[in-house]
Amino acid sequence: MVSIKVKVLNKDNRFGGRNVDVSFGSSSFKTPNRTATHKDYYATSSLPHRVTIENPVSEYVSTFNTTSLDAFLSGNGSFANRKKRITDQSIDIMRYSPIMSTIQVPANRKVTQDQLMLFNMLQNQQMDIISIPPFEYKDINEYEKIITQFSEAARSRRQEAMPILPLSTELSTFKHEFAALRRLKDIGICNVIGFAYANPSKYVQQLLEIYSNREEDIWYHAFGVPRTPRGRKNVPVAHIHELQNWGLDTFSPEVRDVSYKAIGYLMMQSKTMKPDDVKCQRYDSPSLGVFKEPDWIDRYGHDLRCNCPVCKGKDLLSFKDKFTHDLDGNFDPNLLRSADKVHELVSGSKEFGESMEAIKSDDLPAYYNNKEFTKGRVNPP
């Protein structure tokens, strides 16, 4: 892959949201947009009929919790398992678009500079964009130096490096690191920044810092976004569609670090389930809502209100019948979860095309006000 080129197309806009042209040389795309994670590809490949993923960027997400990060940094077995997992996930099926590797570590953790080598080795040379996870440093000059060294090493392998800057970073540190990355862009080093998601209501100043620098020709990617906002007053809004308001460009949903033990438990649990126990949780583009099955039925009955490849020609009953049984007629509750995920990927990605047009006309507020679950909730800073 050649070096990424980024150009902001709407620097004169008054309101939030960016139209950015991202070019990889042989291909390009415009924002806002959504990446397709390896979990999306896995869900698509598990369905009984073929669905083509057309997202402009594929994303392999390596998620670590505290326990798995400690194991990865201290044991050979964890590294080997992680490396094997990338191969087992069949990265080849993601090759239709440039592949981004994202590293997500716990918000309170930074790795040592020596440990960066492990993450460098983990990220397969088939990846086009590789992550630089948060790391320890003594001053901002050293921070810039390490980012430069990592980036230049990646560039020598025809890869692009993406520094990770968690939105939960302490504000003063966030501002200094973000400023350093923008300076590096001036010498061609930093073309893309990965922002690890954090609750916007708790870290609004960090998002405002991004918004204040939305004229920069840098691709801003937000990853790890939960399906709906967390909290006691949880609103069933499709959270991934709210964040473009802050000048972020591309987005990917949360991918959790699930242990083999937990996977085994879920597999055993699925064996005792019956078809009536399995329920949908559906994304709805017209309202930007995410509904549990009973709430969906209360609103829309059995009408799916969607013509994406998994929904077309079906109502809720036929959708569930189709995606709870494999091709041999055997009951498989996991298929329904995969079908929900693929519907959300395809329908939600198409919805970003609608907001892209709203941003072109500098009218993102009107777009949000026309959606039930963002009306009065999302406004430009």
User: CATH number of the domain that 143 lies in?
Assistant: 3.20.20
Task: Give the residue numbers spanning the domain of 185.
Answer: 5-259
| 113 domain residue, yes or no | yes
Per-residue pLDDT, 376: 81
The Cα–Cα gap between 381 and 377 comes to 12
Which among 311, 284, 293, 303 is positioned nearest to 374, based on CA atoms? Answer: 284
Intra-chain end-to-end CA distance of the chain, in Å:
36
Which stretches within 197-282 are classed as H helix? 204-212, 260-271
**Which residues in the chain land under pLDDT 70?**
1-2, 87-90, 232-233, 258-272, 378-381
pTM (2 d.p.): 0.94
| Integer Cα distance of 118 and 123 in angstroms | 9
**Burial of 170 by CB count in 10 Å (0-12 exposed, 13-18 middle, 19+ buried)?**
exposed
- pLDDT on residue 123: 87
- The count of structural domains within the chain is 1
Reading the block at residue 169, the tokens are 């970073």
Report the pLDDT value the prediction gives residue 266, as an integer from 0 to 100.
55
In a domain, 316, yes or no: no
Q: What is the pLDDT of residues 238-284, one digit of tens each?
A: 999 999 999 999 999 999 876 556 555 555 655 667 777 789 999 99
Task: Tell me if 116 is assigned to some domain.
Answer: yes
Q: What's the confidence (pLDDT) of residue 366?
A: 92
Asked if 84 and 246 touch (Cβ cutoff 8 Å), the reply is: no
- Can you list the alpha helix ranges (DSSP code H) found in 110-139? 116-122
On whether residue 59 sits in a domain, the answer given is: yes
- pLDDT at position 330: 82
Q: What is the pLDDT of residue 267?
A: 57
Radius of gyration of the chain (CA): 21
- The pLDDT score that the predictor gives to residue 166 is 97
Which run of H or of E encompasses 381?
Answer: none
